[in-house]
A and B are shown apart, each in its own frame.
Chain A
C-alpha cells in the first residue's frame, strides 16, 4: 500500500494530503527548518485542527517556543500524571508565563482507574506499562480524537528506535504527527535554548536529560543515551503514547493475551526481566539474578537499592542464600523440563522451611498438568509459554484433584474426619 492510498482514507485534511502526499510533504522542508514544518502544519495543512502534548521536560522548551511563535493559542496538553517532580510542575508555570502560551490544559488520570488499578500508588513499581496506561494513555485518548494533527517533540537521536523519524507521519488511525525537531541533535537543542534564552528545567543541571514521572526517571551518565534514565532497568523505552511507530496508541492492559506471567488469578504484565551478560550487580533492577551470580557478587547485590529477583535453577541449593531471601521481591524456580521435579523440593524448602513469603514463580516448562502440584509446593506465580496452558488458566480449567492425602505447604487446611493426612486447598488462592 502506498502512502497516497492511505491518505485517501484519512478523514482529516485528506484533500490537502492527497494533493501533496506525505512523502512529498516530508521532502518540502530542510532538515533543520523546524519552524517551517510547524507553520505549514498549523496554518496550512491542519489549521485549527492541531494540538500538542508536552511533558514540560528537560527539552520541552524548544518545541513550546516554536509553538508560541506560530500560534500562542495552539492547544497544549500536559499529562498531570500525579507522579511528576515538583520541579516539573513549577517549570510548567515558568514556561507558560515566559513564552506566553495561553491554552495549556492539564490532563488528570481517571480517579476510578487509580482506585481500581493503583490504589496505593505503586503500580509504577510492579507494572510500569500499566501505570503509563492509566496515567497517560487513557487520559489522552479522548483528546486525541478531537484533533487531526499532533505536534511531538521526538527526535531521531534520542533513541535507536527513533532513528528514522520523519517530519510528518501518518498514524494508523489516519492522523498526522508532526515532528518539527526530528533532526535536532542534543547540541542543536542546547544551541537553540541558548540562542533564545530559554529557561532550563530545574533538574537538567543535576543530570536529568529526559524527564518523565519522578519514580521512573533517573540521572543519565555522561555519554549515555539521554533517554537511558527513563524506566532504567526495565525493558521499556517508550511510555506507550507513541509506542507504535505508525501512531497506534499501545494499550498494555488490553494486550493480556500475550502476557506470560500468571499471578493472582490473571495474566499480568511482568516487571521482571532475565539476567543478561554484563548486567551490573550494583545497579540492575527488576531482574532475576541467577543464584551463582548472586553469590559471586553478593555484596554488590545487597548494596543495590532496586527491587531484585533470584533465579534458582535445577541443582542450585537455596540453602546457600538462606539469609538473603528477604532481599528478593521475586524468586523464579526453573523447571528445565516438566519431568524434572527438583523445583518442587525447592519450592517447599523456600516457602515452608526458609520462610520465604514473596512471589515464588515457576518458569521454564510450565504446563497445566503440573501447575496444581506447583501450587501445593508454594508457587504463586507461573510464567507460561504453552498456549493451551495459558488458555486453561484463562478459563480457570485446570485438571486438578482438589483434595490431598498428605500435609504439604503452608496454606492447606485439614479436611474431614482424618485431619492428620487429609488436606484441601484453602478457599481462596
Chain B
C-alpha cells in the first residue's frame, strides 16, 4: 500500500498545524461558528446532535494493521471506545472534544493518516472496490490511480469551495462494487481498441433528495489525460454549478438541468485547453505509485477448493461464514474475507477498540498487513490463504466479528440517524436492529439469499436507501417518525433507483412490512437461485405493493 515519503509527511504535518491554529482561534473566540464551520468541515469535523464528530479518511478504504491499531487507540483514548465505519470507507468518531482534535490529528499523522477533505464542499475521499488488487474479476487495480487522484485533489486551491461536496469513486472491475454510477464522478476501467486500459467516465450520479444515475460522459480517457479530464469537469462544475440552493448544488443537478450534451461540450472544450498540459500523467509516475501497490509476496499455492457443504455439517456457523463472507481471489490458494460489522442487533458499521485491534492482529498475521473498509460498512482482509481461513474465523469468533451474513438481509447499511445526526428526521439504527432480530435465524437468511436493505434517517440518503433492493427512508410527519419503503434499487453496474411503494409505516411496523415483501419474493421466485432483485424486476412493484397495502 501507499507509504508516505518526506513530502507527504510534511504536507500532513503542515495541514495539521494549520487546522490546529484554526481550532485554537475558535477556542479563543477569534473565529465565530459561522467562520469556523467551513474550516472544520474541510477537515472532517462536524457538530452533531450531542458532540463534535471527527471523520477520518481511509483513502480508498485501505488500511494497515498499524493504522487500525491507531484508530483503536483514538477510540479508546479520545472517544467512547468505538468507531463507526462509513459508506465512504472512512471512520467516524462520535465523541471527540474540540480541544483534543489537534492531538488526534497529530496521532493520525504519525501513522500517515488524516481527516483532510472528509467533509466540506470539496473533493472527498476517493472510494473504490473493497476487493481492489485482490478480486478475480479485476481488469486493473484502481488504487494507484485512486492515490494519484487523492494527491491531486488534496487542498486543491481551485476546488476547495465548490458549490457542494464532490465524490469520486473508481473501480477496476466490471462488477461494480463501488457504486460508481451514484457518484459525482464514477470511473470504471475500460479497454480501448488498442488494448490499452483507461477509464470510462460517468458524471452526475448521486443519491440524496434527488437520486440520479450517473451518465457516461466519456467512454475512454487514458491514464495520461485522466487528471486533465477530471480538472475540466471540476472547473465546469465550479463555475456553473448552482449556488443558489444547496439542495440543487450537486453536479447531478447541473447535468440534469443543462443536459449531458451541453455539459459534455463544456467539459470537452475545457479539456481541449488543458489536455497535454501540466496535468499529463507521466507513465513513470503511474509506475512509481503503482509500485506501492505491487502484489504482496504471495506463495505459489495450488487452487484450494473450499468444501462448504462439508464444513457446514461440521460447524454450521463456520459453513455459513465460508458461504457468504469469502470472495474469490485472483491468486490460487487465496481468498478475500469480509468481516461483518453487522452482528445481529448491532449498530451497522460500529467496531470497538478491542475489535479493531483484533482485526489488526489478523491482518498482520494472515493478510500481508492489509485491511480494507467496504462501502457496505464492513471490513475486509483482502489476501488470506485458504488454508488460514479457519484460523482467521476462530480469531473473529473471539472478537465477536464472525457473523456469516455478508450480502444477506441482515448485512444492512444504515446511517447514524437521529441517534447522532443533526440532520436526521428519524432513527435508523434501531430500525436496522429490529429487522436484524426479525431475520436473525441463519437458515432464514440463507433461504432468502442476497438482499440488500439500506436505511436512511432523512432524505439526504446517507444510508443509500435509493439503491437498496429494499430501501427504508425515515421521515417525520406531524411529530411522528414514519418510514417509507422503496423497492428495486441497485447500486451496481445494473444501476437503478428504488421506487416508493406507498405511505410510510411507524417504526414498530417496519420489520413486519419487510417480512411481507420477503414472503412475496420467496413465494414467487422462479427458482431458489433467482435473487430478490431479479424477482422484483421480473414481477414489478404490484405484488409487493399489494402485500403491503392490500388490493386497492
Contacts and interface: CB of A to CB of B under 8 A. Distances in A.
Interface in A385-406: 388, 399-406
A415 interface: yes
Interface string A90-114: 0000000000000000000000000
Given A339-B121, A344-B158, A400 B18 contact: yes
A405 B158 CA distance: 12
A323 interface: no
B298 interface: no
B161 A401 contact: no
Given A339-B38, A416-B7, A421-B148, A399 B285 contact: no
> Of residues A367, A402, A406, which shows the largest number of chain B Cβ atoms within 10 Å of its Cβ?
A406
Interface in A356-389: 367, 369-370, 372-374, 376-377, 388
B7 A338 contact: no
Nearest to B38: A339
Contact of A341 (B14, B18, B159): B159
A369 B22 contact: yes
Contacts of A348: 158
B279 interface: yes
9 contacts: A340-B243, A341-B158, A341-B162, A373-B155, A388-B30, A404-B157, A406-B153, A417-B5, A422-B7
Interface string B263-298: 000000000010000110110010010000000000
DSSP majority for the B interface?
helix
A340 B15 CA distance: 22
A402 B161 CA distance: 19
What size tier do the contact residues of chain A reach?
35 or more
A353 interface: yes
Contact of B10 (A342, A372, A377, A403): A403
A406 B238 contact: no
Nearest to B22: A399
B531 to A, nearest CB: 43
What size tier do the contact residues of chain B reach?
35 or more
Interface of B: 5-7, 10-11, 14-15, 18, 21-22, 25, 30, 35, 38-39, 121, 148, 151-163, 235, 238-239, 243, 273, 278-279, 281-282, 285, 288
B39 A369 contact: yes
A407 B278 contact: yes
Contacts of A402: 14
A403 B278 contact: no
A196 interface: no
A418 B285 contact: yes
Contacts of B121: 339, 341
Interface in A330-362: 338-342, 344-346, 348, 353
Contacts of A340: 161, 243
Interface of A: 314, 338-342, 344-346, 348, 353, 367, 369-370, 372-374, 376-377, 388, 399-408, 415-418, 420-422
A420 B148 CA distance: 11
Given A344-B238, A401-B11, A420-B282, A338 B158 contact: no
A377 B279 contact: no
B159 to A, nearest CB: 7
A421 B5 contact: no
B216 to A, nearest CB: 25
B160 A341 contact: yes
B21 A338 contact: no
Contacts of A344: 157-161, 238
B126 to A, nearest CB: 13
A346 B468 CA distance: 41
Nearest to A407: B278
A399 B21 contact: yes
A381 to B, nearest CB: 17
Given A369-B39, A420-B282, A408 B157 contact: yes
Given A344-B159, A353-B273, A369-B22, 17 more contacts: A339-B38, A341-B159, A345-B235, A373-B158, A377-B158, A400-B18, A401-B11, A403-B10, A403-B11, A404-B155, A405-B11, A405-B152, A408-B156, A416-B7, A418-B285, A421-B152, A422-B7
A417 B289 CA distance: 12
Contacts of A370: 161
A415 B151 CA distance: 14
Contacts of B35: 367
A345 B232 CA distance: 11
A406 B7 contact: no
A421 B279 CA distance: 8
B238 A405 contact: no
Contacts of B159: 341, 344
Contacts of B14: 400-403
Closest 10 CB pairs of A and B: A341-B161, A376-B157, A373-B157, A407-B278, A401-B14, A344-B158, A405-B151, A399-B18, A420-B285, A405-B154
